[in-house]
Amino acid sequence: MHPSVRATSGRRRTPATVFACLLAALATVLATAVAWVAPASAATVDTNAWYVLVNRNSGKALDVSNFSTADGGSLVQWTRTNADNQQWRFVDSGGGYYRVQSRHSGKVLDVANLSTADGADVVQWSDHNGVNQQFQLADSSGGYVRLINRNSGKAVEVQNASTADGGKIVQYSDWGGNNQQWQLVPVGSVSDPSPSPSVSASPSPSASPSASPSNGPWPPSSTYSNPVLWEDLADIDVFRVDDTYYYSA
């Protein structure tokens, strides 16, 4: 055998050469991954369930202000009570989009006036399945989702990242902020709804109950008017008068 051939065939790769080859292969894999990013998996919901939508930034719930049943009724965030005006279900519009319907009013989330602008109001409106009433659920970390409007491509958010009761609900460019992320907390099914607070004929603004109902028997009717049965439990009844809760054994 020719000496030059024997010398070439007997050469061994050094550790440095092997490491360089591995780095080159890794760089190729990373370049391919950057060039193709798989889309986020579509968030799924149960269209037979009612949900409370809890904001990641504030911990408060999406709420129809003042228990409105009118077209154009404002949407705000409020301390979670699980009242009907805080319960929502998802109605399939096809193509991965849903209408978000209020249990209290039967109306759906709607970007006012088909706006595509940042800061446009999100209100409730009669369901006509318009593109401004259709939302896609985009996954965020930790089981939260963003609601992306089909017409504008913008996300439903709590304006100015407010943490206060009454913080306004608007649409804004999707940037994945905590005030644009919502947790869907199931509270019952459409076919077998769980008990929920009753609403008086002239409701006051949304308010959360105190940590526990006031002690003592139900107050005399001559002192308190228009009592509302709030919850019928096994051993006690809980009543609401304005923003105060009482129980009777």
pLDDT score, position 20: 63
- Domain match, 77 and 147 both: yes
* Average pLDDT of the chain to the nearest whole number: 75
Predicted local confidence at residue 186, as pLDDT: 95
Per-residue pLDDT, 210: 32
Do 184 and 238 have their domain in common? no
If asked whether residues 235 and 165 sit together in one domain, one would say no
**Domain shared by 72 and 170, yes or no:** yes
Q: Which of 145, 144, 120 is nearest to 135 (CA)?
A: 145
Whether residues 184 and 215 share a domain: the answer is: no
Does a structural domain hold residue 14?
Answer: no
How many whole angstroms separate alpha carbon 100 and alpha carbon 129?
10
pTM above 0.85, yes or no: no
Strand 244-248 to 182-189 pairing: unpaired
CB neighbour list of residue 130: distance below 8 Å, 6 or more residues apart: 110, 114, 151
In this structure, are 219 and 176 located in the same domain?
no
* Whether residue 228 sits in one domain with residue 128: no
Q: Which residues contact 136 (CB under 8 A, 6 or more apart)?
A: 96, 97, 98, 147, 148, 150
- Quote the pLDDT of residue 208: 35
182 and 81 in a single domain? The answer is yes
Contact assessment for residue 155 and residue 171, using Cβ atoms and an 8 Å cutoff? yes
Range of the domain at 177: 49-189
Is 65 a domain residue? Answer: yes
Q: Which residues of the chain have pLDDT under 70?
A: 1-43, 189-249
Are 107 and 222 contained in the same domain? no
| Residue 180, pLDDT score | 99
Structural domain total, the chain: 2
Q: What is the pLDDT of residue 44?
A: 78
